[in-house]
Structure 1
């Protein structure tokens, strides 16, 4: 009997060590958990992070729970719970994989313990996530995992209306060019793929582009667009303004490749690139420029970039800087003797060709002391998705910003148009081609001065305007037919506007462009010119941006070109005696 009692006591003691989880046989413990947000999510699984913590409640030895789980369920089906066991490790961050998930579905999860287990104070009891949507396998139509003649035959039968769908269920799998339709063009692409003429469908290239353009990059570019437009518009009360924010940003981003330290920080802030890694910026540019080349036949968008180096300053520009701009911006690199003024014509011809002849004579001279010119040009030509009827265009009154009136040729359209209105404005969306590009026209209330409205424009207002626009029946639209050419000031300099955005150091002698050159260099100016024509058929627009790179202390040379009235004086220098004075007011003189 005594032996039996000893055996029972030993068995009980062993059990207390083997089965206890919330204690080490020295008391009772409460378990708390903390869930970490933003799990790593895939199509059919997710990895979640969490941490367990123990707090002793008393020193009595009991038999607390010994098992913990992550429990998860479809948010819309809370009764259908799945679980996965987790380790009894405390005060360390753990991860666990949740499997057997459905694609494009929201799941909720929490920690469960066999004994009471609580979420840590101030942390959520549950968290939710959504799995990634099922990715189409383009061209794979019968669900066997292969793309071959069987799929080609299925597509042929679909186009002949013998069948009305595919085994995979998603018709989009047959939209191989990504135009939103399934037709003979897709059949031709699938046939070429099966014959191994193609190794990738156009729609796959489009998806790669979409994935490569970061949201932060797009937001930053949009922020810069409104910021620079507002700054330039400040000094143009009553005057027309037209710029290419993307063209300006592209040219500055080419220079940005070689910016370092505080110079880079200031440029990043001005361009909207704060928080973005240079790799992310460059990848986004590469994908976006590739996208520009894939627009439909009714829209042409061409970006051209070049670097012109002074051969008199041989090897001043680093090869890494050249290589980066070739890779990211497809930049053409030329070397010329800047003491030869024929370079002016050559650069002007390059800009003219890049803008389809819309921007000419942007350069008047080159300076032999300049190190390099960074140039970006953008050309756009888009046909309206629905053209205006030229027969309805007539001369109408246009009330200018200063209250005066002009007569303009006013285009008209009635019907279903993207229309929106909000607090202080009306807006229309006029698409080009297949609708991937559009012109937005925003009309402030008549009581709101134009420049006041412009100064309120930012990303938030832009999103509000976008969201307000819906396809609306019976809209009556009047829009002027117009041409406009704009360059700020006498030479198109936007340097002061960029300085106002915080980009100051790039123009100073202490600028750090050590990624461009071994010698000290800076930006001497940023010149920009843009033109636009809007008519019944569509829109043609161009923008050119030039950034001279110079050595410290060397800026644009002062110019005195007496091609307008001037005063002249003949004086004795030693005793400051004026001998003769005159003015030249016209060209009627002997020469």
Structure 2
């Protein structure tokens, strides 16, 4: 009988409210993830675990973006690279031989530069930092492993998932598929505060394990947009066609950068706390050029070149979603064996012949006057075999055409979410 293993990864941010309310204390305590104050991260140095894995996670983010772009056509793009990296890093704990090597390479980890142990210690540290209750940006991340009584999970895999990823074990009866599906969906709905409902429609035949990972993000702009200044405006889909959007407006000092080489404006909008949103506006007709330039060195240069300057900023309110077949995308990125009959996942439950048969990802983002709401979900199923003179008025940067967006957590140095907004009012799923 075929056996299947699902991994489900969720990233979530709740709707931003006018006043900050913290009702997450109990949930964060339930996660039982050790943490240290946020500012400790600044003194850990370049050799700290999360700093070592950050370049690989950023590399993966941009590689994956470029793969998605090839198939997205003229649709919005939005996903959580940290979600996908974490899911497959966890899976790699049970991978062996060439399957493991392909996963490392696909996730942009070079074992000549760091040891395998350091990869998992890096994600362990990311979890600790994201779950720090002292942060002004509210973030929490956790994992759960739903295991059928029939599956004998190896003790080492169970210990490693618990140690590095703080996964809680939940016993389930997958022979009662509808009950198990409801149990998992209820867990996900609770952890995401009702933002992701009925993610799993059903469980495949022989499913014996489901792994759930979620991240909660709730960010408030350091300086909110005034709702009274939001007005209807045109957002141009191309040279001839436009749609009406609610355009937010601010007239203040922002960190900005003009990249003449790649013909784009970069605007950083800070959240309260140690996270920022980076908005990139290519000049007309230069989006592909900017996308091609997306590597960690380019973005690092943007971040280092930011200068505070007073501007007129127009940014649309938008709420978009996107859905991806991760299996197909990763196969095109060279991660093939884990999805085949040659997969070696013997570190999970011995020689049971598990293979990944399905991997999907869903992400949602909502940007408004007070801040940002973002959510994402990944499901993986495994089965058996230029500043001018000072005198002119402030520069006007108007995001009224396709632009890029990244939500960056400066504490862990990770890109939590990224995407391309082509049509702010499109309802894609």
TM-score bracket for this pair, using the shorter chain length: 0.7 to 0.9
Alpha-carbon contact 2:38-2:135 (below 8 Å) kept: no
| C-alpha separation in 1, matches of 2:159 and 2:72 | 39
| C-alpha separation in 1, matches of 2:84 and 2:213 | 8
Aligned mate of 2:117, from 268, 279, 283: 279
Aligned mate of 2:363, from 508, 527, 530: 530
Structure (1 or 2) with the larger CA radius of gyration:
1
Structure 1 partner of 2:237 = 400
What pairs with 1:487-502 in structure 2 (closer than 5 Å)? 487-488=323-324, 493-502=325-334
- Structure 1: stretches of 5+ with no match in the other structure: 1-199, 553-591
Structure 2 partner of 1:457 = 294
Structure 2 partner of 1:148 = none
Change (3 A) 1:401 1:259: farther
Structure 2 partner of 1:507 = 339
Aligned mate of 2:266, from 411, 422, 427: 427
Alpha-carbon contact 1:419-1:427 (below 8 Å) kept: yes
Q: Aligned-pair distance for 1:372?
A: 1.8
**1:389 and 2:226 are equivalent in the alignment:** yes
Structure 2 partner of 1:445 = 283
Alpha-carbon contact 1:359-1:530 (below 8 Å) kept: no
Change (3 A) 1:500 1:412: same
Alpha-carbon contact 2:80-2:363 (below 8 Å) kept: yes
> 4+ runs of 1 displaced by more than 4 Å?
200-205, 207-211
Q: Aligned-pair distance for 1:460?
A: 2.0
Q: Which protein has greater RCO, CA pairs closer than 8 Å, 6+ apart?
A: 2
Change (3 A) 1:447 1:204: closer
Alpha-carbon contact 1:221-1:272 (below 8 Å) kept: yes
SS of residue paired to 1:366: coil
Q: TM-score scaled by structure 2?
A: 0.76
Q: Aligned-pair distance for 1:461?
A: 1.7
| C-alpha separation in 1, matches of 2:241 and 2:305 | 31
**What do the CA deviations read for 1:182-232 (whole angstroms, capped 9, x no partner)?**
xxxxxxxxxxxxxxxxxx994785467655325431100000011111111
Q: Aligned-pair distance for 1:304?
A: 2.1
Structure 2 partner of 1:260 = 96
Alpha-carbon contact 2:127-2:142 (below 8 Å) kept: no
**What do the CA deviations read for 1:298-355 (whole angstroms, capped 9, x no partner)?**
41112121222233x331x212111111111111222322232121121112222222
Change (3 A) 1:446 1:219: same
What pairs with 1:92-171 in structure 2 (closer than 5 Å)? none
| C-alpha separation in 1, matches of 2:105 and 2:238 | 33
Q: Aligned-pair distance for 1:420?
A: 0.6
Change (3 A) 1:325 1:209: farther
Query: Which has the larger displacement, 505-514 or 367-376?
Result: 367-376
Q: Aligned-pair distance for 1:467?
A: 2.2
Paired residues in the alignment total 344
- Structure 2: stretches of 5+ with no match in the other structure: 1-34, 386-429
| C-alpha separation in 2, matches of 1:243 and 1:201 | 28
| C-alpha separation in 2, matches of 1:262 and 1:520 | 15
